[in-house]
Structure 1
Amino acid sequence: MSAFTSQTPQTPAASEFSAGVTATLRRWTALRAAIEGEWGGGSCLSKAEQIRTHILSMFLSSSTLKYDAQDVEDFLYISMEEQFCCQLEDGSPSDVGGIIFDMAVKCLEGDFTLSRQMVEFAEKEREVLEAKMNVNVLVEGEDFEEDMEEEDEMDNITTTTTTTSSQNVMNASSSDMQSYANQSLFGAAPVQQHLPPPRQLGEEEVVVEKEKIVDEDGFEQVVRRSKRKNKGVKGNP
């Protein structure tokens, strides 16, 4: 029987399970919708990473299973509600929790089939999506034959990418699976925009006034003048 923990940084079982969890969460429609819709605000990516980290810690912190599918399901329900303000009624947390627990059991037994399948499915979906995005958008008014050729090209791309993905995943090593698990769940975190510093206590907003100026030719010009009033701020007159 394999083990999740040892004196080495990562055992094969831990690497395979981590990759399977990563793939399962990437395929979870509800979580992806929450990320794309920014239901959790500007820190959605970080919140998704926290969900993955917590699930991995539930199983990788011990050589024996201390949690079951119901525990994972409850955690996912609570996380989606608290982190993304989403009350799920589709039963998907139960499905995801069941898959993750089954993977944990099988990986501890040295059977990595399920975790590899989840990675394979996730890679197929990613490559198909990328292929669709790379196909040129049909220009309105093109001939019907050209449209059909474009659809045939799309089918060929899809078939090729899914076959390649399947072969690569099934022939990968456990170290490759660990590299997959080390990837960010849904891409890099967005760059934080530099916002102006918050106003001091008692400091009013910038008031913009328009001052009319007439030039020599009689045309009116507009000049913007900013006034900042500081009332009750220590150190200001």
Structure 2
Amino acid sequence: MAAPHPNQVAFREGVEYLFHSWTALKLAVDGQWGGHDSDEKQAWFIDTIVDYFSQNGKKVDTFDLEDILIQIMNDEFSIMLEDQSEQHIAKILEQLFLECTHGKYDLVQTLKQDSQKVSGALKNSQSQKKAKQEGDDEEEDSSDDNDDDSDDDGEGDMDVEMGESSSSASAPVRKEPIIDEDGFETVVKKGRRR
């Protein structure tokens, strides 16, 4: 079996970079909206688009391509694209295919840089969240160590809250009257209190 042509390799890389930076798809995969195999579904999605272009070549129908993007996002990730990003993605895919067939890889490099920016921003955001969580945990630990009296106060508050909830639970609950189909109120006999 012959190795794939460099243009095909470049096109596939471009599609991967594009799909990894497509916000709607990225959210779906990161959030596992397509289930625990969302990563595999994304890889299959990329394969499907690459195959579509290899079968149709330059005769790709833009509306057909947009429909495929919408349908896969809906069927596999339960996303209704309301931002019309499928139009943007379809245009880039067509431009990418056209450039790659002519041996031009500038767009592939641009998509690679965009994908790296998105990944870098996500990693930075996650590390900031983690640092904040660790900082919050340290503050909680230090406040627990420094304030022994606050624990006693907290338990007292808990007792008061428990007392309030138990007294409200024992309060009689007034039931709504039962009205029959003729509009008369049904009298329910009360049981003895113990």
Please confirm whether the aligned pair reaches a TM-score higher than 0.5, indicating the same fold.
yes
Question: How much does 1:134 deviate?
Answer: 4.3
1:39 corresponding residue in structure 2: 33
* 1:194-235 CA distance string (max 9 Å, x none): xxxxxxxxxxxxxxxxxxxxxxxxxxxxxxxxxxxxxxxxxx
Superposed counterparts of 1:76-225, under 5 Å:
76-134=69-127, 137=131, 139=135
Cα distance in 2 between the residues matched to 1:129 and 1:33: 11
2:50 corresponding residue in structure 1: 56
Unaligned runs of at least 5 residues, structure 1: 1-6, 141-237
**What letter is aligned with 2:35?**
G
Find 2:60's aligned residue among 61, 64, 67: 67
**Larger strand proportion of the pair:** 1
Question: How much does 1:101 deviate?
Answer: 0.8
User: Does residue 24 of structure 2 align to residue 10 of structure 1?
Assistant: no
Cα distance in 2 between the residues matched to 1:40 and 1:126: 20
Write out the 4+ residue segments of structure 1 that deviate beyond 4 Å after TM superposition.
none
**What letter is aligned with 1:96?**
I
Cα distance in 2 between the residues matched to 1:25 and 1:110: 21
Question: How much does 1:66 deviate?
Answer: 3.2
Cα distance in 1 between the residues matched to 2:31 and 2:114: 23
1:68–1:107 distance in 2 versus 1, CA, 3 Å: farther
Contact 1:68/1:101 (CA < 8 Å) preserved in 2? no
Cα distance in 2 between the residues matched to 1:115 and 1:69: 20
Cα distance in 1 between the residues matched to 2:104 and 2:82: 32
Cα distance in 1 between the residues matched to 2:99 and 2:63: 17
Contact 1:35/1:45 (CA < 8 Å) preserved in 2? yes
Cα distance in 2 between the residues matched to 1:89 and 1:132: 25
Question: How much does 1:87 deviate?
Answer: 1.5
Question: How much does 1:83 deviate?
Answer: 1.4
Unaligned runs of at least 5 residues, structure 2: 137-194
Percentage identity across paired residues of the two chains:
26
1:134–1:37 distance in 2 versus 1, CA, 3 Å: closer
Question: How much does 1:61 deviate?
Answer: 4.4
* 1:36-69 CA distance string (max 9 Å, x none): 232222222222221111001112347x423233
**What letter is aligned with 2:17?**
A
2:17 corresponding residue in structure 1: 23
**What letter is aligned with 1:74?**
D
Contact 1:69/1:97 (CA < 8 Å) preserved in 2? yes
1:120–1:38 distance in 2 versus 1, CA, 3 Å: same
Question: How much does 1:12 deviate?
Answer: 1.5
**Larger helix proportion of the pair:** 2
